[in-house]
Amino acid sequence: MSNNKSTPSLSHQVSRAVIWNTVFVPLRMISEVAATTLKLTVLPMAAYGLLALVSGAASAFGTWIDMGTTRALPKFIPETMRARGAYGVLRLLTIVFLAQVVVLLGIAGTLAWQQQSYLDSLASRVREDMRIDQAAQTLLQSIISSQGWMFIAVIIVMLVMGVCYDMLMAYLNSFFKQRAWNGIALLAGLLPQLLAAVAIIAAQFSDEPLRWSVVGILVTAAMAPSFAVCIALWHVVSIWREGADNPAIEPSRDTNHWLPDGFLKYSGVSYLMTMTDFIASKGFAVYLTSSISDAALLWAGASLVGMVLSYLYTPLVGITVPLFTRVRSGEGGTIQGAYRSIVRIQLFLLVPGGIALMLLAQPALSILTPQYRDAVYIVYVLVPCLFIESLLTMAHNVLIVYEKLTIVTIGRLLTLVVIPLGFILSPVYGVVGLALAYGLARVIAGIWATVWGWRIIHLEWPWQFTWRVIGASTIMAGGIYGATQLLPPLAVTTGIWERLALLPGYGVIAVVNALLFLVMLRVFGGLEASDRVQLSRINLPFKRYLMKVL
């Protein structure tokens, strides 16, 4: 893009992106919570576990197809736009797309060839789980036998849509188009949930509600992404046309090269990151469980933690790598200052959010899905691990922007410790041990990245703000714990309407103690001066009151 006086500053673009990220959180959260609760309530645990295994397979194949390009494109698209213009970016995206299509065709062909073997493996998991009642077991095996081809078809369609979606969204992220990005992400997250909810409700009026609930969820999982892809494509074409009208800012001498210098090396490291992320995730761990019921518990608990973590991280989605890339190129600020600011935002959101989740997870599961109340132990294990890892790996983003690829590679390889940890912990602690294994593996990799970021790039952790947040969060935790003791206890025999009647009380507890956290943070010193100055320059609703609190 060309530089001109109307172009917003980098800090303004980032601030605006943070705002648009945050605005869309409530809508996404409400839709996902409602649809997930409906699935967990209506579907038997075995059916939910079966769908979890299908989702895990789609995640695994999607990881192979990605080849690290989803992480690489937000870095190289802005650089290619500056050096080669819009047509250079188009060539880059075309090459990446064709490479992914080749891998996708290979996977699709293998799935079609080995279809019966895959379906037999699913059927055996259902058959061997003694905790599944006979009626559900018979019906699920019937679904796999008569409509198993749908599982294969859905996985392939999801992979095709995933390739298109990831590339288009990476393009939007590269230019901080967070309003468009979040609108599309909202649609991509909301539509499958709404359609799945409609399918489940409609299936209750059929002769076989379980069968048609599973089929309906599969169909909507394949259909819904196409709408998001079409809208994302429209936005990307509009942005690309704007760029096509402007020449490259820094004309490149290597225009005959098919790919930008360093792209393959960077993508290779990113591919390693993506693969190791998958290995240390619920998508891989779910296939290590001993039964389909354990798969359902693991998926439910990990999904709850992942859902909350993703919403708390939402303000920073798609921002950090482009920000660090542009700061490094000299567009404003220092890399150390940008790192500290991003970590402070994370601390402000993740520390109180994680503590609140641990304290409220048990009543939430008991109220909404009592059959999954044992998943609370997975929540207790994963919240500290995944939330701490999210804080620590911000240094990883800096290291990869600085192309410290050897250090990044070693850090990602450290996550493979999940394999021996899984073999050690799962026999002793069962499915909770599997969750602990992949959580600890992520923390180890995060510690490695943070230590080397400090040693090489002199990244400094904002310790003063950290202690303020911990102090305010500790008082908030006491408030939540004390307030929850005043509510009536939940028994297994408590009826659904009596359970749901308690929801408003827990909602009030959460809101009141969130405000308590903000007040206590202000008492302990509030935001850093630089953050207050930046916040004062942003147009926010109720900004005057927000500034007084913070």
Please state, in angstroms and rounded to a whole number, the distance separating the CA atoms of residues 522 and 348. 12
Q: How many domains does the chain have?
A: 1
Q: From the first residue on, what is the mean pLDDT of each consecutive set of 10 residues in the chain (550 residues)?
A: 47 54 59 68 73 81 82 74 73 84 88 83 76 74 80 86 83 68 71 77 78 80 81 79 55 57 77 81 82 84 86 70 71 77 88 93 81 88 93 85 83 88 87 91 91 89 92 94 81 63 81 91 79 54 52
**Which residue do the tokens 């429209």 mark?**
234
Domain that holds residue 219: 29-250
Helix, strand, or coil (residue 71): helix
**Which residue do the tokens 């499958």 mark?**
192
User: Helical H runs in 25-177?
Assistant: 25-42, 45-66, 69-113, 115-128, 134-174
Instruction: Look at residue 382 and tell me if it is in a domain.
Output: no
- By the 10 Å C-beta count (0-12 exposed, 13-18 middle, 19+ buried), 26 is classed as exposed
Is the CB of residue 454 less than 8 Å from the CB of residue 339?
no
Q: How is the chain split among helix, strand and coil, in percent rounded to 5?
A: 80, 0, 20
Work out whether the CA dihedral 24, 27, 30, 31 comes out positive or negative: negative
Instruction: Look at residue 18 and tell me if it is in a domain.
Output: no
**Which residue do the tokens 């695994």 mark?**
60
Instruction: Look at residue 540 and tell me if it is in a domain.
Output: no
Q: What is the pLDDT of residue 444?
A: 93
Instruction: Look at residue 234 and tell me if it is in a domain.
Output: yes
Please state, in angstroms and rounded to a whole number, the distance separating the CA atoms of residues 114 and 105. 14
Instruction: Look at residue 175 and tell me if it is in a domain.
Output: yes
Instruction: Look at residue 331 and tell me if it is in a domain.
Output: no
Q: What is the pLDDT of residue 548?
A: 58
Q: Determine if the pTM surpasses 0.85.
A: no
**Tokens linked to 43:** 């579907």
Distance of CA 133 to the CA centre of its chain: 34
**Tokens linked to 382:** 């994963």
Instruction: Look at residue 297 and tell me if it is in a domain.
Output: no
Q: What is the pLDDT of residue 178?
A: 58
Instruction: Look at residue 222 and tell me if it is in a domain.
Output: yes
